[in-house]
Amino acid sequence: MRYTQHPSNNRVLGAPKNWDQKALECGALPITDTEVEGLPAIASFWVPDAEELALINAGKPIILWVIGGGMPPVTIGVAS
């Protein structure tokens, strides 16, 4: 999937401090700083391509990858 700019985006995240771009490239990601049920949250927006849509429609799961040794609280949804 590719990230997409959304009208609510109000910041851009870059690679984490000390990130090794040679090991794994990490580009800039437009995000929206917001709140979910009173808690601080960050949203990014992603658009599947035609092949990914076909796989999703065939019942294949969507994978969320988090780089590192832990998993922060996350959620995946569909924007209206």
pLDDT in tens, the chain (80 residues): 999 999 999 999 999 999 999 999 999 999 999 999 999 999 999 999 999 999 999 999 999 998 888 888 999 999 98
> What is the SS3 string spanning the chain?
CEEECCCCCCEEECCCCCCCCCCCCCCCEEEEEEEECCEEEEECEEECCHHHHHHHHCCCCCCCCCCCCCCCCCCCCCCC
> What pLDDT, on the 0 to 100 scale, is given for residue 28?
95
How far apart are the C-alpha atoms of 57 and 38, rounded to whole Å? Answer: 33
- Segment 44-67, tens digit of pLDDT: 999 999 999 999 999 999 999 988
How far apart are the C-alpha atoms of 53 and 9, rounded to whole Å? Answer: 24
